[in-house]
Structure 1
Amino acid sequence: MSDYDRSYARTIPADRADMSVDAGLRSFMLGVYNKVALGLLLSAALAFLTGTFPPVRDLMFATTADGRLAGYTLLGMIVAFSPLAMIFISMFAMRNPSPRQAGMLYWAIVTSIGAGMGVLALVYTGTSIFQTFLITAAAFGGLSLFGYTTKKDLTGFGSFLIVGLIGLVIAMLVNMFLQLPAMAMIINILGVFIFAGLIAYDTQRLKMTYYQLGGNEAAMGVATNYGALSLYINFINLFQFLLALFGDRR
């Protein structure tokens, strides 16, 4: 993934590129959004399967008599941590990926995340999951539109968010042991703001990447898959943090 990361060199400042009239850019971004939408649809279907269909659910999760989460099975733990493992492995094993390899990575991560999200159906009510998803979709659309249309260069803002994301991960790991409700609340609030900002930042980054690639079809194929992966992960994390803040538990 080294050819497509958040530290790429910008070749055209955001305030000098007229994005609204470029048909090629619109086609490129539409390809990214279509892939994100399909990824979310697949994730929803897999989450419904693993969270509500007993033969599959019981392979991944331990549940109480009233259907609430009691813990993970070994398979459930493997599925839960596999997206992170795939991302780290790909950073070293896929130095110059082809569009096909990038696409396989995208769908593998989407599949594992979707399967693992079945846990949400065991923790939260179906109504709150649906309502939070709609709120997340609306927020994603507005934030991505802002990132697409703004003339302001968000590079510095994005760097700040990435540092914040590292701190957020550390805080989450610490609170796994401390189990402090107040700290969990702060983490959830910060998570919402960080991933909301990353949606706008990554959208603008995709625009700049399109111009940087200069019509290279193979490189744009890779960028489409990695761009979709970035936005998909931002969407999923924003959804989960909002659900943790406002969702009704079972």
Structure 2
Amino acid sequence: MSDFGNYTAAGSRADAALDPGLKKFMLGVYQKMGLGLLVSAALAWLTSSYAPVSNLMFVKTPTGGLAGFTLLGMIVSFAPLVILLGSNFMMKRASASSANILYWVIVALVGASLGTVVLMYAGASVVTTFLITAAAFGGLSLAGYTTKRDLSGMRSFIFFAMWGFVFAGIAFSIGASFGLFSVGPVFMIMNAVGILLMAGLIAAETQHLKMIYYSVRGDGESMSAATSFGALNLYIAFVNLFRFLLYFMGVRRD
């Protein structure tokens, strides 16, 4: 949901298969994203399974499931949204160090809030859905990497749509809590739309990263910042795709 690294693609659309620099750049993005997912998984386990931490963030049912959030849990859950929204206005041309810090702060906060997934769904379904998400991500990213079609227009649309989607989701949650409408059908539609948006974002963002590379190659500072921003956008898309798929595929705990 963070539209960072809006470099103008002044470079060539050279054949990516013949450009070792591009391969190295993309590998750096994927490695950083993958490490972020590992850190998130560890933090999700910590906040869901280690009682001294879990009790600070979540209210649990007698069987150990999720019943609600503490004040700290609410702050941790909404902090990434606030930080990303603020960063969109304050970090248009961030340094490599600030982009790196932003990435790891978001990873830590999102990872901590993902403890809700472990508390709400059976472990086997969480693992299965994660593997399916990883496979889908790989296919979609490969499609964005290899396609000759310009996806920049779709990428811009998805970023605007995602912010509207987020605020609509908040309004929906508030309305549902007051009994203004039913959770089931509307929530199902929102998750289906979310899957489509994330699928498009993964492909479009991968292509966009190629254009960023051609625009900033040779500038070490910009390349490093672009790696962090690229990993951040793909990380957010992966986590959200995982959440949306889990709604349809996950088996809830009793």
Taking structure 1 as the reference length, the TM-score comes to 0.93
* In structure 2, C-alpha distance between the alignment counterparts of 1:166 and 1:92, rounded to whole Å: 14
Distance 1:108 1:163, change over 3 A: closer
Residue identity in the other structure for 2:125: S
Distance 1:167 1:95, change over 3 A: closer
**Alpha-carbon distance, 1:49 to partner:** 0.8
**Alpha-carbon distance, 1:2 to partner:** 7.9
State the secondary structure of the residue aligned to 1:215: coil
* In structure 2, C-alpha distance between the alignment counterparts of 1:203 and 1:238, rounded to whole Å: 15
State the secondary structure of the residue aligned to 1:157: helix
Residue identity in the other structure for 1:226: F
For structure 1, which segment, 31-40 or 68-77, has the greater mean C-alpha deviation from structure 2 after superposition? Answer: 68-77
Structure 2 unaligned segments of length 5 or more: list them: 177-181
Distance 1:2 1:129, change over 3 A: closer
State the secondary structure of the residue aligned to 1:234: helix
Aligned match of 2:246: 243
Residue from 148, 151, 171 that aligns with 2:148: 151
Aligned match of 2:136: 139
Aligned match of 1:231: 234
- Tell me, yes or no, if structure 1 residue 168 matches structure 2 residue 165: yes
State the secondary structure of the residue aligned to 2:59: strand
Residue identity in the other structure for 1:207: K
Aligned counterparts, 1:48-197, within 5 A: 48-176=45-173, 177-178=175-176, 179-197=182-200
State the secondary structure of the residue aligned to 2:218: coil
Aligned match of 2:8: 9
Q: Report 1 or 2 for greater relative contact order, CA contacts < 8 Å, sequence distance ≥ 6.
A: 2
* In structure 2, C-alpha distance between the alignment counterparts of 1:164 and 1:35, rounded to whole Å: 26
- Tell me, yes or no, if structure 1 residue 204 matches structure 2 residue 200: no
The alignment covers a number of residue pairs equal to 246
**Alpha-carbon distance, 1:40 to partner:** 0.1
Q: Identity across aligned pairs (percent)?
A: 51
- Tell me, yes or no, if structure 1 residue 43 matches structure 2 residue 44: no
* In structure 1, C-alpha distance between the alignment counterparts of 2:107 and 2:164, rounded to whole Å: 25
Give the superposed CA RMSD: 1.7
- Tell me, yes or no, if structure 1 residue 221 matches structure 2 residue 224: yes
* In structure 1, C-alpha distance between the alignment counterparts of 2:90 and 2:201, rounded to whole Å: 25
**Alpha-carbon distance, 1:56 to partner:** 1.0
Distance 1:89 1:168, change over 3 A: closer
**Alpha-carbon distance, 1:70 to partner:** 1.0
Aligned counterparts, 1:27-38, within 5 A: 27-38=24-35
* In structure 2, C-alpha distance between the alignment counterparts of 1:88 and 1:161, rounded to whole Å: 15
- Tell me, yes or no, if structure 1 residue 19 matches structure 2 residue 19: no
**Alpha-carbon distance, 1:77 to partner:** 0.8
**Alpha-carbon distance, 1:180 to partner:** 2.8
Q: What are the superposed Cα offsets for residues 111-135 of structure 1, whole Å, 9 maximum, x if unpaired?
A: 0100010011111111110000000
State the secondary structure of the residue aligned to 1:220: helix
The answer to whether the 8 A contact 1:12-1:212 is kept is yes
The answer to whether the 8 A contact 1:171-1:187 is kept is no
* In structure 2, C-alpha distance between the alignment counterparts of 1:232 and 1:63, rounded to whole Å: 28
Residue identity in the other structure for 2:228: N
Structure 1 unaligned segments of length 5 or more: list them: none
Q: What are the superposed Cα offsets for residues 5-38 of structure 1, whole Å, 9 maximum, x if unpaired?
A: 4xx433357xx43111100000000000000000
